[in-house]
Amino acid sequence: MAIMTSDDNASCHRAQSVKAFLQERQINSMTWPANSPDLSPIENLWWKLKKLVHDKAPSCKADLLTAIRESWNQIDEEYCFSLVKSIPQRIQAIIKARGGTTKY
């Protein structure tokens, strides 16, 4: 059984070593236009996590690990649910913008 994956055509996803890894494991990549709008709400979650960690100003690896854990625990379920619930609006925005830039 083949597994499908998608990526954003970033050069790190297109490296020969990545292609070989995926091929060896029979993982097929979906065709995805470069620089296309990202429909995934995970980008918003990463942004929030990075901001919370940055605001804690960790100065060493141990502080960074603590800041990541504390920041992750600060993100409530309702925020995550709101991101998931936004998917239909994201899709409509992409359709309206004909694949162009959206607020997401």
Domain that holds residue 27: 1-35
Strands 27-29 and 3-5: parallel
Kindly report the pTM of this predicted structure. 0.64
Please check whether residue 78 lies inside any domain of the structure: yes
Measured over the CA atoms of residue 50, residue 13, residue 100 and residue 37, the dihedral's sign is: negative
71 CB neighbour count, 10 Å cutoff? 19
Q: Are residues 67 and 87 in the same domain?
A: yes
Number of domains in the chain: 2
Q: Are residues 70 and 88 in the same domain?
A: yes
Q: Are residues 3 and 31 in the same domain?
A: yes
Q: Are residues 47 and 79 in the same domain?
A: yes
pLDDT digits (tens, 9 = 90+) for 29-74: 776 665 565 677 888 999 999 999 999 999 999 999 999 999 999 9
Q: Are residues 47 and 77 in the same domain?
A: yes
Q: Are residues 14 and 57 in the same domain?
A: no
